Structure 1
């Protein structure tokens, strides 16, 4: 521990330098407060300084209310290691967690987070960690076993133990934990305290999730990422406390059913599924990013969301181009304030689609467009499908495009363009938005990866925009 240098005069030399350890002179209470602000692994390293620091570190580890075993730097270093070195680092991580868990003496904890590349071969230790967390009546339980930056792992995912919740593996109906005599009372009581559940690369079955939803009365947030064998998910009346649900990349998932729930926010990323919503009066935010091959994506999405469209305030339809149909009438999104969609900026149909959203969303305040370019041939095909050959041959495409899509919006104040690169189509789009949104206040531009030539192109494009767009509009580049 580095201290302060004190400069003093002496007879032997002009100056003597004395190193004073000011930090160790602080009271134990102050040092403990400092250590509790550090990540667990950094706090643990202070134990090598002296016996006093070892005592303080042990006290902090034994009494901390937040146990976050994040090992991001270690996970990054695992990628380039051979099998033997990799296994040694993993075993050291497991031993570290076991050591802290064994030393912990405080009756309760607020958060227990495991973030490391672990698989089912470490299920014995992971099971003990979960039991420990439930015994301590944890409020936030996070199991993140993802490989750093790798989404298609070859190893088997950790299987969440049915037995821990008093369930029979492969059961077709959800068991209510309190009716299982063999269930550890500490586990049952621990379920009553959980507010947040996060699973990443955890094989968590339908009956396990339903057991959590049925027996965690204060559970507000549930997120499940990369659960390989989850097929169906039901959120029904027993889970009335749940407000935020996030499901991502569960490739076997076929359906999500949400009925009679107080859900506020729903986010789904993955393959096309059956989404059934009934009686969700508080649902105001929906994000759907489906790998969908159908041409009627928008119709399917709006049909699935039909019971809550009028109450939505935030709608995100990303990773899937919204196809345009000339005679299609959008339902009115009366309360929509934030919209995110993919926009084909070289496509007349994309602009007309955007205009349709404007007309259906009279109270829209913020618009986020993910810009996607298409080839000139695709523009021609789309254009000729929407207009007659005479219209196409007699008029310039760009003039027709903006004339046909003309409308105005009185509430749109913030526009964000993701993927802006300063091409002519980007420039024309910004001009169109500035004219359409009569009360526009800010344009946020998120360009592609920086480079010398991209920076030059960006600066030229920004200069052109500021000349053509009203001075009242603020430009922000990120």
Structure 2
């Protein structure tokens, strides 16, 4: 059975209500016409509000009764209205109806810790859970021994009032968190090999530099993939990185104007001696600066692929790439991607962004490419 999927975005704020009801009626009609016994995927993506809750509950019940495997509810909008599910999950008739759900994604919904607990206890086949922009979710606790969990991937994005995330005795393989600094406990997660942490705060202390590694101390040695946001540490003293023997894939969010960024990248390369792929997600906010040279550098013998995301034709970006090409003696491929990752809350002129991306692309193709040895494959997206 093909997935039931529809995603729309309104442009004219004056017609918001009209567009919402048109969308609701459209989904309602599709749901009523569907006569098949099952659906694989059900996705609702539209900025709905409180008045549409009864309809959404009905759609959720419909999807669960049809043994849906992949359920996506995305109500994010510029107005940031928070929508609450009524009893869409709890009213689904029969516990067995939850047994098919494998992938659940919730965005801009007023779920609580209790709601997440209900989902975990009622969906024994759930493998992937993603929760975004749910300010009523102040904490998450997952204890694998309490449920017959098959959960392999957990992604949480919350920039509001979340206090803690605790994951104990679970078989998670992948975990990611984006939000303000919080209490993070990962204990007895033997299968966890992929972690991404992006913690930022308006007020940072010296302790912040080591906070991430303290939080991950119980599983760092087993990780194969690690993603970290270093933007909150701009121009601070370079912090030491403990040995990460199994890291093969490293992603770092960095600020191109951080004068210490070469030194920090050097520390990570020393710590990840078996690193094979490095992805640098770059931001450029301030005027150009002269980067401080890295000290005590040494050759890296396993790094084969370097990707720079958000590339701009600045000297700092060129200097970073030159440093990596000099240090990584086994480098085989360089990938340049001028499409940058927007900072949370950032508003941009789309046309200006497209122009910047094209200028960066042309700089990479005609200027940067000349700096890359012929033996190294060069690609620009």
TM over 0.5: yes
Say which of 49, 54, 58 aligns to 1:119. 49
Paired residues, number:
364
Distance 1:371 1:296, change over 3 A: farther
Say which of 122, 139, 142 aligns to 1:215. 122
> Secondary structure of 2:140's partner?
strand
Distance 1:424 1:98, change over 3 A: closer
Given that 1:324 and 1:352 are in contact with CA atoms closer than 8 Å, whether structure 2 keeps it comes out as: no
Answering whether residue 195 of structure 2 is matched by residue 304 of structure 1, we say no
> Secondary structure of 2:63's partner?
helix
- How well do the aligned residues superpose, as a CA RMSD in angstroms? 2.8
Say which of 232, 241, 245 aligns to 1:334. 245
The equivalent residue for 2:380 is 477
> Secondary structure of 2:231's partner?
coil
The equivalent residue for 2:85 is 160
The equivalent residue for 2:133 is 226
- Cα drift, residue 271 of structure 1: 1.6
d(CA) in 1 for partners of 2:28, 2:288: 61
Q: Which has the larger radius of gyration?
A: 1
Answering whether residue 112 of structure 2 is matched by residue 205 of structure 1, we say yes
The equivalent residue for 2:182 is 273
Q: Which runs of 5+ in 2 are unaligned?
A: 340-352
Say which of 32, 38, 44 aligns to 1:108. 38
> Secondary structure of 1:257's partner?
strand
Given that 2:288 and 2:314 are in contact with CA atoms closer than 8 Å, whether structure 1 keeps it comes out as: no
Distance 1:405 1:372, change over 3 A: farther
The equivalent residue for 2:281 is 370
- Cα drift, residue 463 of structure 1: 4.8
Please, which moves more after superposition, 296-305 or 406-415?
296-305
Q: Which runs of 5+ in 1 are unaligned?
A: 1-63, 166-182, 380-396
More helix by share: 1
The equivalent residue for 2:161 is 252
Distance 1:213 1:250, change over 3 A: farther
d(CA) in 2 for partners of 1:228, 1:453: 33
> Secondary structure of 1:242's partner?
coil
* TM-score for both structures, normalised by structure 1: 0.69
d(CA) in 1 for partners of 2:66, 2:363: 59
